[in-house]
Amino acid sequence: MKIAILSRSLSLYSTRRLKEAGEARGHTMKVIDYLRCYMNITSRNPQVIYQGEPLEGVDAVIPRIGASNTFYGTAVVRQFEMMEVFVANESQAISRSRDKLRCLQILSKRGIGLPVTGFAHSTKDIEGLIDIVGGAPLVIKLLEGTQGIGVVLTETNQAATSVIEAFRGLNANILVQEFIAEAKGADLRCFVIDGKVVTAMKRQGAPGEFRSNLHRGGNADKVKLTAEERSTALKAAKAMGLRVAGVDLLRSKHGPVIMEVNSSPGLEGIERATGIDVAGKVIEYLEKNAGGKNKDRIKY
């Protein structure tokens, strides 16, 4: 097969591993900088053009779209869909998961476990917003934040009010969530491919750090999920319409709760922590499904 990886750079670990895994299985792998693609949007003959040449004969696409480039990246993915090329994750699913508020609203509709979350526009409603999540300590998140950036833990209602006012003063949209203290700075990353959790790791934040992101000094180890945790991860990925996803869970006193559903989950941390060839499993998924139709039918 001819497989295109939409990524800004071959130097990125996940991109490199996917390319290596595909080539090891005999496929032609091409890394495409999606920001350098341009599109011919014409009736009956849509095209994606890269470096002056139409991308033709592509059997499958693996989108690795950065959060800051979601709008243009999903437009390129959508153009491949118009060309009836099979994509690992469809454009609508990527957009759905990238919008944190929309993601949480969909998950809540499906009855999937979440931290208590509040969202408001006016600073006049801060007191009520804080009350919704049970008061401090609580977590305040920028809707546009990634990799733990723009996430603040506030210990008192007064501190929470100050942070919310500051963010709203910058016209930033925020979520306010209950703080899951019993998680003790750890979360679970579940890697879902085609309706199965292929592996999972537990990420533990550095001492004194409530965020578990590995690039912030955290560490990771392979973990065995409970049946409920596995089911929650699968339901979350399905609710987003994602066939390849990283689902982040916290272990709370009322069961597993979803923190994020990632449409372009990194491979480095989870492959090193678990020893599982996740890149190879993504390629296996494409081998089984390329030639089939993209079929996102989710309502929201």
Q: Where are the domains of the chain?
A: 2-89, 97-112+182-289, 117-179
Annotated binding-site residues for ATP read: 141, 178-179, 187, 211-213
Predicted local confidence at residue 291, as pLDDT: 81
Annotated binding-site residues for Mn(2+) read: 248, 260, 262
At 240-279, the pLDDT tens digits run: 999 999 999 999 999 999 999 999 999 999 999 999 999 9
What CATH architecture does domain 97-112+182-289 belong to?
A: 2-Layer Sandwich (3.30)
* Structure confidence at residue 122 as a pLDDT band (50, 70, 90): confident
At 39-82, the pLDDT tens digits run: 999 888 999 999 999 999 999 999 999 999 999 999 999 999 99
Predicted local confidence at residue 217, as pLDDT: 58
On whether the pTM is more than 0.85, the answer is yes
> Average pLDDT over the chain, rounded to whole?
92
Annotated binding-site residues read: 141, 178-179, 187, 211-213, 248, 260, 262
Predicted local confidence at residue 148, as pLDDT: 58
Q: How far apart are CA 266 and CA 191, in angstroms?
A: 10
Predicted local confidence at residue 172, as pLDDT: 87
Q: What does CATH list as the number for 2-89?
A: 3.40.50.20
Q: What does CATH list as the number for 117-179?
A: 3.30.1490.20
Predicted local confidence at residue 298, as pLDDT: 77
Annotated binding-site residues for Mg(2+) read: 248, 260, 262
